[in-house]
A and B are shown apart, each in its own frame.
Chain A
Amino acid sequence: AQSVAQPEDQVNVAEGNPLTVKCTYSVSGNPYLFWYVQYPNRGLQFLLKYITGDNLVKGSYGFEAEFNKSQTSFHLKKPSALVSDSALYFCAVRDGGTGGFKTIFGAGTRLFVKA
């Protein structure tokens, strides 16, 4: 069965500094990895995904993520944080080995960007 861990409940960063939100996963087959963001009083939105190919994927709002197979990680990054990036971030995984659409989400990491 697939699983995903977000080891940090909260990440604090100053505006203009780089940010990293961590995610590790466990699957039996090839991983399909996703990041979603939940802004206050707004629905969950897709940010980016890794399916295959380049380990560094770029997504919406200047975010990127790096897939590391040996460390089973898919950390979300942004070179320069904005106050408006403050939100709840979820990592999610599908297990290509099982062939199913079941998607497991992490517990979420709350990002606070201070002006």
Chain B
Amino acid sequence: GAGVSQSPSNKVTEKGKDVELRCDPISGHTALYWYRQRLGQGLEFLIYFQGNSAPDKSGLPSDRFSAERTGESVSTLTIQRTQQEDSAVYLCASSRGGLSYEQYFGPGTRLTVT
């Protein structure tokens, strides 16, 4: 079946502009996660959504970052007033509900802020 998809695959933006990144999870997956991966580094947790529960936003690095999810489908990650340090690959993952389930990752969006 279809995996997790993300768009765009690449985004180049000027410092100070806003960007919106999109994630389409696997159908039926109630949990959705966003991570940031800077070049040569590990995954940094940003936020997760699980069903109708309030999202865990504890990993968002500043109030310039926000995310929304429509029901149990599409999610968007918005970065306002982008800075050069926001340059990274942004990864989305989804999983079935339940702590024991593994995550399925999308290909990522490579964001470059010039």
Contacts and interface: CB of A to CB of B under 8 A. Distances in A.
A82 B45 CA distance: 31
A103 B45 contact: yes
A43 B100 contact: no
Interface stretch (A12-20, A62-70, A72-80, A105-113): A105-113
Interface of A: 32, 34, 36, 43-46, 49, 51, 90, 92, 94, 96, 99-108
Given A46-B102, A90-B42, A101-B50, 6 more contacts: A36-B103, A43-B107, A45-B105, A49-B100, A100-B48, A101-B33
A88 to B, nearest CB: 9
Contacts, number: 58
9 contacts: A43-B107, A44-B91, A49-B102, A51-B99, A90-B43, A101-B31, A101-B33, A103-B103, A105-B43
Contact of A100 (B56, B100, B103, B108): B56
Chain B interface size range:
20 to 34
B35 interface: yes
B100 to A, nearest CB: 4
Helix, strand, loop or mixed for chain B's interface?
Answer: strand
A98 B106 CA distance: 26
B45 A108 contact: no
A96 B45 CA distance: 17
B65 interface: no
A31 B5 CA distance: 29
A9 to B, nearest CB: 10
